[in-house]
Chains A and B, each alone.
Chain A
Amino acid sequence: MATRWFGAPVQRLEDPRLLRGRGNYVDDIDLPEMLHAAILRSTSARARIVSIDASAAWSLPGVHLVLTAQDLGEILEPSPLLVPHPALTQPRTQLPLARDEVRYVGEAVALVVADNRYIAEDALDLIDVEYEPLPVVHSLGVASASDGPLVHEDVPGNVAAHLAQTVGDPDSVFASAPHVMRETLLMDRGAAMPMECRGVVARWDAQDSMLTCWISTQAPLPIRNGLAAIFHLPEHKVRVVAPDVGGGFGTKIMMFYPEEVLVPFAAMQLDRPVKWIEDRREHFISANQERSQLHEVEYAFDDEGILLGVRDTFLHDAGAYTPYGIIVPIITACTLPGPYRLRHYASEFTVLYTNKVPVSPYRGAGRPHAVFVMERIMDRIARELHLDRLEVRSRNFISPDEFPWDVGLVYQDGGPTRYDSGDYQAGLDKLKALLDYDNFPALKTQARKEGRYLGIGMGAYVEGTGIGPYEGAMVRVESDGRVFVTTGVTTQGQAHMTTFAQIVADQLGIAPEDVLVTTGDTQTFNWGVGTYASRAATVAGSAIHIAAVKVREKTKQVAADLFEAAPDDIELAGGKVFVRDAPHRALTLGQVAISANPLRYAYGENARKLMSMKLAGPRPGPALPEERGGPGLEASGFYSPPHGSFASGIHGAIIEVDPVTCNVTFVKYAAVHDCGRVINPIVVEGQVHGGVAQGIGGAFFERLVYDEEGQLINASFMDYLLPTAAEVPPLLVDHVETPSPLNPLGVKGAGEAGVIPVPALFASAIDDALSPFDIRIREMPLHPSRLYELLREAKIEQSASGPPS
C-alpha cells in the first residue's frame, strides 16, 4: 500500500476560509433574538459573601435576567471532579456561582443577561455585593505554613493530595554514592493565553426540546454528556459544537467552566439565544492557569557523571479548586526521569490549595517543571565534575536497544510509564550539528574579549503523548466521491482538516482535498473525549485510519461483485476503483458508493453513468446482503492505546546576556524532535515553532504576579508580556523518527513538545553566559530585573570571597 499523502507537506485545507476572514469562531455566531451575558466576578481573593443586592441591576432598561447562586435551584451543584485519584483525598470543585464564600479574584458571583453586552456590563456595576474579607493564601509558602489561613475551612493544612512513588532503592544508593547534592528549584505561574478568549452561545429550541451550544472548548462531547445530565435532557437533544477555536493550549479542555452551565441555563429560562464572550481581563482571572511548583531535590552521582538516584519532593499549587484532579503533578513526577537511565528514584508531592485561579493542564502540563529539575541536575553534574554538559547527558541516555523502557511509575492514565521507542543520542548528535556546538567555545571566547557574554544551553526531554482512553471516527464515501470524516476530537489550529484527510486519502486512493473532515460536533459523532495531551493525531488519527481501512475493504468487496472479480484484485487510486491489470474496468469511488446503497432512485452524474455501464446485476436475495454489514461505503473505527507513547527531543540555544540591563537575546535556537512517523512535516514544524515561542515566554516574560491580597497585578497584555516576533528568534528544526509500535500509524504526539525544554535550556544558557560570576539559575520564569538581582547577589558574594582564582 503506497502511502503517498502520509508524510507529504500538504498545504492546509482549512486556510483559505480563515485567510479570507470567513472563519466561524463562537463570537461570530449571530442568532435572531440573541441576548448577551456578562459575569460579575469576585474582587476579593477570599471573603464571605454577606449579601447581594441585584435590584438596581434588574431595574436597568434592557436587562432581562440577573442570576445569583440562590436563583440556580438544582443546578447549584459543584462541577464534576474530572479525574479522581485515590491520593486526592480532599477534592473541591467550584459552584457555577459562588454562594457563601469566594476563593479567588475572578470567581463568578452573578450573571446578567441584557439586550447587548454594553448594557449587561452597566448592570454589573449596579449589583451590590457585600464581602467580609478573610485571610488570603496567596502563595505556596502561606499555604504550607502551619496554622496559616485555609482556602477551604474543612481542608486541614490546605492539603488536597499527597502522593509518593518509589523506584528501586534510592536510600541505599544515596548512602553509598560518591557525590550527593541538593537544591531548591521554583517554577512560578503562567498561562496559556490563546488569542481567542473563551465563549459560549446557547440556543434553546422549545419546539424541538433541543439545546444547542457553541463553545470555544477542547471537549464538546464530555460537555454534551454533562449538560444533558444537568438539565435532564436526552443526550441526543443536546448538541455541543466547538466551531473554529482560536487556540486552546489546554486551558479549554476544562469542564465545566461556570459559564458553560450558566449560559445554557439562561437561554432555557429566557427562551432566547444567549451569548457570553469572555474579555481578556476576565480570561486573566477566570481561565485556568498552571506551572507553580516548588521542588526540593537531592541527587546522587558517581565520578563518571552517571546519575545514580534522585529524591524529589515538591509542592504543587492547585489554586482554589481541583476540577482536573492531580494530573499535572503526576505528569511532573513521571516526566522527571526524562531520557535517562534512572533506576533509583523517590518522588513525593503535596498538592496545596491557594486563593488563586484553579490549575489545569496548560501546554506541557507539568513537564516543563520536571525537565527544568532534571536538566538542572545534568548541568550541575557536569559543572561539579568538569565534564561537557552534552557528554553527561550522553552517558546517562537510555540506548535504542533498551526499549521498551519501564520507568517504574504509574502514569497519569493509570497505566505504566513505559517508553515505547526512541533514539536520544541521534537527537543530540543532530543538535550538536545545528548549533555548531564544537565551535562554540571559540565564539564565546572571542565575544568575551569584546565584552559580550554568550552562553549555550540545552534541554532534553521525553513527553508522554497519545494516552487513552480511546477516540473514534466515522468515514463515509458520499455519492459524488468525496469522503466525509467525523471524529470526537476538536481542532484549535493543529491542521486536523488536513492531516486527518491525508490519512484517509492514502487508504481510499483520493486527494486530501476530497476528504472533508468535521471535528468537535456532537451531532456528527457521538463517541470520544477531546483534544489534549498531544493525543489527537495518535489516538483519533489511528481511529480514522482503522475506519478508512474498513471502508477500503468494503469498497473492494462491492466493486469485486460489480466486476465479477476477486476483492484482492481491486485497486483504489486516483479517485478510481478498478481491476488490477485491467484499468479500463473502472468506476469512480462515488459510483461504488452509489452501488453500495441499493436505492430505487439515485441522482447525479455518477448515478447516470453507472446506469449506462455494463456491470454485474444484483445477486438474487436481499438487495443488501448481510455480509455487506449495511448500506453505503461507511465505517466507524475506534482506537484505544495500550498505554501512552513517548515522544522526545532535545533543544539548544545560544544566547547573549547584556550584563548591564540583564536583557537576554537569542543568537540561535535549534530544536530536534522525535514524534514518531510524521504525517505532515510543515504542520509538525509549526507545532514545534509555536511551542518554543510559548516556552520562551514562559522562561523570560510570562509570570503571573499575585500580591499578598491574592490580586493578579499584571492582568493585561501591557503587563503580562507575550513574546512577539521581535523576541522569538529564527528557529532551526530537525527530526528523528522512531516509529511508535503502539499504533498502526507509528505516530506519537507533537502538540506540546516545543514548550517543554525551554525553561531548562534557558537556565542552562544563562549559567553558561554568566559563568564568570558563578551564577546558578534556580527559578523560572525570569525577567531582566530578576536576573539583574541574581547577578548583583552573585557579584557581592564573589567580592566577599575574593577574586576568582
Chain B
Amino acid sequence: MRERDEDLSQCVEECEIAVTVNGNRYERTVPVRLLLSDFLRHELHLTGTHVGCEHGVCGCCTVLFNGEAVRACLMFAVQADGMAITTIEGMAGVNSELHPIQQAFREKHGLQCGFCTPGIIMSVHAMLHEHPDPSEDEIRHELSGNICRCTGYQNIVEAVKLAAERLRVQHMEVE
C-alpha cells in the first residue's frame, strides 16, 4: 500500500487485492476508489458485466459474490479481496453448451438488445438456488431488482419458469 500523505496515514490510494473470478485467481494493485464493476470490465476485461446506471437500481451489473447476487457498481474492487466472484462469462465457456438458464432465455426469446441480460441471468441463478420452485408472483417479485427496457418481462418470466423446471429435473437426476 502506498501512503498518500503522512498526516493521513489511514488514507491510501491503492491496495493490493487477490480475487477469484470464475475460478481464476487474479492479483492486482487497484485504486481504492475503483468500482468492482470497472475492475471486472476494464482490469480483467470481463465485459459481459454491464453498467446501466451506476447507482444500484438497474441490476445490469449483477454478479455472484460468494454465491450471492450483488451489484458490482455499488462495491469497490478492494471489497472483493479474498472473495470468489462469478460473472456471466463463468456461466458457460465460449465453446461449451449454454447453461440451462441461458438456454431457456434463448428458447423463450427472453432478450432483445441483450444489455440487461447478463445481470438478469446472474440474478436468476441466485434466485433459483434459493427458491428452486418459484411461483410466477415470486419470479416477478425477485426479478423486480433488474430493469429490462426491451422485453416487457413476459418472456423473461417464461424463461425463468422453464429454467427452474429443467434445473429441478437435473437436480433430481444427480440425486
Contact = CB atoms under 8 A, between A and B. Distances in A.
A717 B152 contact: no
A492 B49 contact: no
Given A27-B47, A686-B109, A195 B153 contact: no
B106 A22 contact: no
B156 A725 contact: yes
B55 A718 contact: yes
A280 B136 CA distance: 31
B112 interface: yes
Contacts of B144: 724-727
A183 interface: no
Interface stretch (A7-15, A89-97, A351-359, A584-592): A7-15
Interface string B90-116: 011010001000100111010111111
Contact of B87 (A21, A23, A688, A722): A21
A193 interface: yes
A690 B50 contact: no
Nearest to B114: A18
A20 B115 contact: no
A273 interface: no
Contact of A246 (B106, B113, B146, B155): B113
B118 A195 contact: no
Name, among A19, A23, A25, A690, the residue most crowded by chain B CB atoms within 10 Å (CB to CB): A19
A519 to B, nearest CB: 13
A16 interface: yes
Interface in A174-200: 193-197
Interface string B118-152: 10010000000000000010011101111111111
B54 A280 contact: yes
Contacts of A691: 152
Nearest to A196: B115
Contact of B115 (A11, A30, A117, A247): A247
B33 A15 contact: no
A81 interface: no
A722 B147 CA distance: 7
A744 to B, nearest CB: 26
Contacts of B117: 18-19
A730 interface: yes
Contacts of B31: 118
Given A21-B89, A725-B143, A726-B141, A493 B150 contact: yes
B116 A20 contact: no
Nearest to B154: A689
Contacts of A281: 54
Nearest to B35: A118
A438 interface: no
Interface string B27-62: 000010110001001100111111111110110100
A555 B139 CA distance: 51
Contacts of A689: 151-155
B106 A19 contact: yes
B114 A494 contact: no
A691 B42 CA distance: 33
A interface, by DSSP: helix, strand, loop or mixed? Answer: loop
B40 to A, nearest CB: 11
Nearest to A247: B113
A686 B50 contact: no
Contacts of A22: 48, 89, 94
Contact of B109 (A118, A195, A683): A683
A336 B48 CA distance: 43
B55 A25 contact: no
A716 interface: yes
B109 A21 contact: no
B162 interface: no
B141 A249 contact: no
B157 interface: yes
A195 B141 contact: no
A725 B153 contact: yes
B22 to A, nearest CB: 10
Nearest to B153: A725
A35 to B, nearest CB: 13
Given A15-B105, A722-B149, A731-B154, A493 B47 contact: no
Interface residues of B, number: 60
A63 interface: no
B48 A23 contact: yes
A731 B115 contact: no
A196 B112 CA distance: 12
A686 B112 contact: yes
A249 B149 contact: yes
B88 interface: yes
A77 B159 CA distance: 49
A716 B152 contact: no
Contact of A717 (B57, B98, B139): B57
Interface in A9-59: 11-12, 14-16, 18-23, 25, 27-28, 30
A134 interface: no
B84 to A, nearest CB: 18
A20 B113 contact: no
Contacts of B52: 195-197, 246, 280
B112 A21 contact: no
Given A18-B111, A23-B48, A195-B113, A279 B87 contact: no
Contacts of A280: 52-55, 58
Contact of A725 (B38, B106, B140): B140
B89 A690 contact: no
Given A22-B94, A195-B60, A728 B114 contact: no
Nearest to B57: A717
Interface string A727-753: 110110000000000000000000000
B152 A690 contact: yes
A247 B106 CA distance: 18
Given A728-B152, A731-B154, A19 B33 contact: no
B112 A19 contact: no
Contacts of B49: 21
Contacts of B98: 16, 19-20
Given A25-B115, A493-B114, A722-B149, A118 B33 contact: yes
Contact of B41 (A27, A249, A493, A688): A27
Contact of B113 (A30, A117, A196): A196
A478 to B, nearest CB: 23
Interface in A690-742: 690-694, 716-718, 722, 724-728, 730-731
B106 to A, nearest CB: 5
Contacts of A18: 111, 114, 117
A150 B129 CA distance: 59
Contact of B157 (A19, A118, A686, A725): A725
A21 B47 contact: yes
A493 B50 CA distance: 16
Nearest to B105: A19
Q: A245, A683, A725 — which one has the most chain B CB atoms within 10 A of its CB?
A: A725
13 contacts: A18-B111, A18-B114, A19-B111, A19-B114, A21-B49, A21-B88, A25-B115, A196-B115, A247-B113, A725-B143, A725-B146, A725-B148, A731-B154
The 5 closest A-B pairs by CB, nearest first: A21-B48, A246-B115, A493-B113, A689-B152, A18-B114
Interface of B: 31, 33-34, 38, 41-42, 45-55, 57-58, 60, 87-89, 91-92, 94, 98, 102, 105-107, 109, 111-118, 121, 136, 139-141, 143-157
Interface of A: 11-12, 14-16, 18-23, 25, 27-28, 30, 117-118, 193-197, 244-247, 249, 279-281, 492-495, 682-683, 685-686, 688-694, 716-718, 722, 724-728, 730-731, 754
Given A19-B111, A731-B152, 16 more contacts: A11-B109, A15-B114, A18-B111, A19-B121, A20-B102, A27-B47, A118-B34, A247-B112, A247-B150, A280-B52, A280-B54, A280-B55, A688-B152, A724-B144, A724-B153, A731-B154
